């Protein structure tokens, strides 16, 4: 174990330190001496970047200490859950690069045992059937400053409770007519201990158990028991469960379960300029603000994947933000840094002109074509691509200015610029549309003695990208930007749950339908990532990009603006 300890010391955080100490002290969990964690998503939405933090932590700790991590769906709320969500979650975790132990598990696998344990609680006088209406249960619970009131049903006999609970299970009552509650302490300072509900009646078809049950266990009851049945050693969860820990421990203390896992809380990941709440993300999908759960503007794992984030970049980001006990908001720039950093190492370089304008090299022979060699990566040995150079090329409309500001190093009348990997050209004339006055063509001459060479007797600072008119491939480019204009879109949210929808960035997506890219990418496979030179990182859309319909999504722009790029 010491070997592992030394090796990953630098990624240390308080949870890791707890685990190291537990292992040093030989702390056992039932039969388990290894680290056993679990990731317990509720299949009521797609996973988001916040979940990625929990995934990296749970799977990461198991991996680091040669333990295991279970994937267990917390499926106690059938009306909100679905098979589609289950499948997306499984796919996302695999894609992130993690493997779970054995089969996928479901809390519903334990419904029989949970029921038996509930009977045991009733028999021990630790649980009772309460017949107060839901509203009364709430008011009887009291407040932070006021003790709760005891339910008039609290003293039902064991026999009465067993009979009622069994009748609940058999479907003899309406929803909300009765619930099963733990009998703890209505005066407890911690409201979670004021006789919390353990079971409720729900006539809902369950995606795993069908119509077998009409009583469903509540999350707090299910979670600790599932953890114990799976021999979880460290049950890692987010901070909002800190106040539930006494209940977690109370339930396990009453039951004859194989072990008593240790619940440890850590801070949720909050990221600015976006939302990390499944409920809000679902609202964005349901109201058509975005196209789907995997819309590339969504902070969902599948959205980020479709946008072009690599799994490694997400893992690196989760590693970089660390694990702490205090809530904080992480800057979106950290995530963008992680993806740039990772893609810089692997993305192939190509040239793509987003907003084309035609440039004609008047002294270049018509019909002539030469192949220019360009490296696929500036640092790595990823080979070369050939780019056909011809008399007519497209350049970025932005790279030309009729009245250039000072220090403008791109193309302007009478000025020279280098076409990347090619020749130096000089702007001799512009052709304009007669009615609109817009520049439609730029006429240049080229200096034939500048291929791979500096021009004689003068300095040409600017280098711009281009593609050959005849051979470039038309493509669609989707420019994604932050989904919200404000750093914390959900602030002040309590008064108006829809207020975050008023802070959307109207330019979060701009679609360019007439861009052109090098012929090199003709056979591109979906999800291939490129650096479009001088522009940013782009990824062939996972669903829409085909050889006859090229579609690229902007993952992130380059940190250093185009002006700095050197030829
Ligand atoms: P949401 O509020 O988005 O619905 P949740 O906590 O209800 O999230 P679950 O499916 O229950 O979603 O989450 C599975 C696991 O992921 C839980 O252990 C939860 O604590 C963790 N998790 C959820 N959101 C975050 C986050 N923002 N940061 C870190 N961990 C998170
Ligand atoms: Mg949850």
Q: CA–CA separation, 86 vs 42, rounded Å? A: 9
pLDDT of residue 387: 97
Q: CA–CA separation, 356 vs 124, rounded Å? A: 77
Q: Which atom of ligand 1 is nearest to the CA of 42?
A: 10
In terms of Cα–Cα distance, which of 524, 533, 399, 541 is closest to 479? 541
Q: CA–CA separation, 242 vs 274, rounded Å? A: 25
Q: CA–CA separation, 373 vs 259, rounded Å? A: 65
Residues with Cβ < 8 Å from 401, sequence gap 6 or more? Answer: 408, 410, 411, 412
In terms of Cα–Cα distance, which of 394, 391, 341, 385 is closest to 363? 391
Cα 364 to ligand 1 centre (Å): 61
pLDDT tens profile 94-148: 999 999 999 999 999 999 999 999 999 999 999 999 999 999 999 999 999 999 9
Tell me the pLDDT band of 416, cut-offs 50, 70 and 90: very high
Per-residue pLDDT for 565 more than 60? no
pLDDT tens profile 63-79: 999 999 999 999 999 99
Q: Among all ligands shown, which has an atom nearest to the Cα of 238?
A: 1
Are residue 369 and residue 512 in the same domain, yes or no? Answer: no
Tell me the pLDDT band of 498, cut-offs 50, 70 and 90: confident
Catalytic residue among 80, 149, 202, 268: 268
pLDDT of residue 136: 98
Determine the distance from the C-alpha atom of residue 372 to the mean position of all C-alpha atoms in its chain, rounded to a whole number. Answer: 40
Domain-embedded: residue 6: no
Domain-embedded: residue 271: no
- Mean pLDDT of the residues in the chain: 94
pLDDT of residue 490: 86
**42 catalytic, yes or no?**
yes
pLDDT of residue 26: 86
Please report, for the domain that includes residue 67, its CATH number. Answer: 3.40.50.620
Q: CA–CA separation, 171 vs 181, rounded Å? A: 18
Q: Mean pLDDT over residues 35-54, rounded?
A: 98
Q: Which atom of ligand 1 is nearest to the CA of 240?
A: 20
Q: Which residues of 238-266 are buried (b: 16+ CB within 10 A; e: fewer)?
A: eeebeebbbbbebbbebbebebbbbbbbb
| Total number of domains constituting the chain | 3
Catalytic residue among 278, 305, 385, 418: 278
Tell me the pLDDT band of 6, cut-offs 50, 70 and 90: very low
Are residue 422 and residue 523 in the same domain, yes or no? Answer: no
Protein residues whose CB sits closer than 6 Å to any atom of ligand 1: 40-42, 50-51, 53-54, 74, 237-238, 268-269, 276-279
3 state SS of 25:
coil
Domain-embedded: residue 2: no
Are residue 344 and residue 360 in the same domain, yes or no? Answer: no
Please report, for the domain that includes residue 418, its CATH number. Answer: 2.40.240.10
Q: Whose CA is nearest to atom 27 of ligand 1?
A: 50
**415 catalytic, yes or no?**
no
pLDDT of residue 492: 66
| End residue of a domain, out of 464, 486, 509 | 464
Q: Mean pLDDT over residues 490-498, rounded?
A: 72
Q: Mean pLDDT over residues 181-200, rounded?
A: 98
Give kind and range of the element (H or E) at residue 419. Answer: strand 416-419
Pairing state between β 384-389 and 370-375? antiparallel
Residues with Cβ < 8 Å from 550, sequence gap 6 or more? Answer: 473, 474, 475, 476, 517, 521, 524, 540
Provide φ and ψ at 216, rounded to 5°.
Answer: -120, 135
Are residue 342 and residue 402 in the same domain, yes or no? Answer: no
- The domain in which residue 339 lies consists of 278-349+475-566
pLDDT of residue 34: 85
pLDDT of residue 30: 65
Cα 52 to ligand 1 centre (Å): 9
Query: For residue 365, how many other CB atoms are within 10 A of its CB?
Result: 9
Q: Which atom of ligand 1 is nearest to the CA of 55?
A: 16
Provide φ and ψ at 560, rounded to 5°.
Answer: -85, 125
**What's the pTM value of the predicted model, to 2 decimals?**
0.94
By CB atoms closer than 10 A (0-12, 13-18, 19+), residue 103 is exposed
Cα 440 to ligand 2 centre (Å): 57
Rg (CA), the chain: 31
Cα 30 to ligand 2 centre (Å): 26
**91 catalytic, yes or no?**
no
Cα 328 to ligand 1 centre (Å): 15
pLDDT tens profile 333-354: 999 999 999 999 999 999 999 9
Q: Among all ligands shown, which has an atom nearest to the Cα of 44?
A: 1
In terms of Cα–Cα distance, which of 402, 420, 538 is closest to 479? 538
Are residue 345 and residue 390 in the same domain, yes or no? Answer: no
Q: Among all ligands shown, which has an atom nearest to the Cα of 279?
A: 1
In terms of Cα–Cα distance, which of 365, 357, 407 is closest to 389? 365
Q: Mean pLDDT over residues 359-368, rounded?
A: 97
Handedness of CA 62, 260, 219, 495 (dihedral sign): negative
């Amino acid at each position: 174990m010491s070997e592992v300890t030394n090796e990953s010391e630098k990624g240390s955080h308080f949870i890791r330190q707890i685990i190291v100490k537990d292992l040093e002290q030989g702390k056992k969990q039932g039969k388990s001496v290894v680290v056993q964690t679990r990731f317990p998503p509720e299949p009521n939405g797609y996973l988001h970047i916040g979940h990625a933090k929990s995934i990296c932590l749970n799977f990461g700790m198991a991996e680091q200490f040669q333990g295991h991590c279970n994937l267990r769906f917390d499926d106690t709320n059938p009306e909100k859950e679905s098979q589609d969500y289950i499948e997306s979650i499984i796919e996302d975790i695999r894609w992130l690069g993690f493997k779970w132990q054995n089969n996928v598990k479901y809390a519903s696998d334990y419904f029989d045992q949970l029921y038996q344990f509930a009977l045991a609680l009733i028999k021990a006088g630790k649980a009772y059937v309460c017949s107060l209406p839901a509203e009364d249960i709430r008011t009887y619970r009291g407040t932070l400053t006021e003790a709760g009131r005891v339910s008039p049903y609290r003293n039902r006999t064991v026999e009465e409770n067993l009979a009622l609970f069994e009748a609940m299970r058999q479907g003899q009552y309406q929803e909300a007519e009765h619930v099963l509650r733990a009998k703890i302490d209505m005066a407890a300072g911690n409201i979670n201990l004021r006789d919390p509900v353990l079971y409720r009646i729900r006539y809902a078809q369950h995606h795993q158990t069908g119509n077998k049950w009409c009583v469903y266990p509540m999350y707090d009851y299910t979670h600790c028991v599932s953890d114990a049945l799976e021999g979880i050693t460290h049950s890692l969860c987010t901070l909002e469960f800190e106040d539930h820990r006494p209940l977690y421990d109370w339930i396990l203390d009453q039951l004859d379960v194989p072990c008593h896992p240790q619940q440890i809380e850590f801070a949720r990941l909050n990221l600015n300029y976006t939302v990390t709440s499944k409920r809000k993300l679902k609202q964005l999908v349901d109201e058509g603000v975005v196209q789907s759960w995997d819309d590339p503007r969504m902070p969902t794992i599948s959205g980020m994947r479709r946008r072009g984030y690599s799994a490694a970049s997400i893992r690196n980001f989760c590693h970089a933000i660390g694990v702490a006990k205090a809530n904080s908001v992480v800057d979106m720039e950290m995530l963008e840094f992680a993806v740039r950093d990772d893609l810089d190492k692997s993305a192939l370089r190509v040239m793509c002109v987003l907003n084309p304008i035609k440039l004609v090299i008047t002294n270049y022979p018509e019909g002539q074509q030469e192949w220019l060699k360009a490296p696929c990566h500036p640092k790595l040995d990823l080979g070369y691509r050939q780019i056909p150079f011809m008399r007519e090329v497209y350049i970025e409309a932005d790279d030309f200015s009729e009245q250039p500001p000072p220090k403008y190093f791109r193309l302007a009348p009478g000025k020279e610029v280098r076409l990347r990997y090619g020749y130096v050209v000089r702007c001799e004339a512009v052709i304009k549309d007669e009615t609109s006055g817009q520049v439609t063509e730029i006429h240049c001459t080229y200096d034939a003695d500048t291929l791979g060479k500096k021009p004689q007797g003068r300095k040409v600072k600017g280098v711009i990208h281009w593609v050959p008119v005849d051979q470039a491939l038309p493509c669609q480019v989707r420019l994604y930007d932050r989904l919200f204009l404000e750093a914390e879109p959900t602030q002040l949210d309590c008064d108006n749950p829809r207020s975050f929808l008023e802070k959307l960035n109207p330019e979060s997506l701009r679609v360019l339908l007439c861009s052109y890219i090098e012929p090199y990418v003709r056979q591109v496979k979906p999800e291939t990532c490129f650096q479009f030179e001088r522009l940013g990182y782009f990824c062939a859309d996972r669903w829409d990009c085909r050889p006859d319909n090229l579609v690229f999504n902007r993952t992130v722009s380059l940190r250093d603006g185009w002006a700095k790029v050197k030829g």
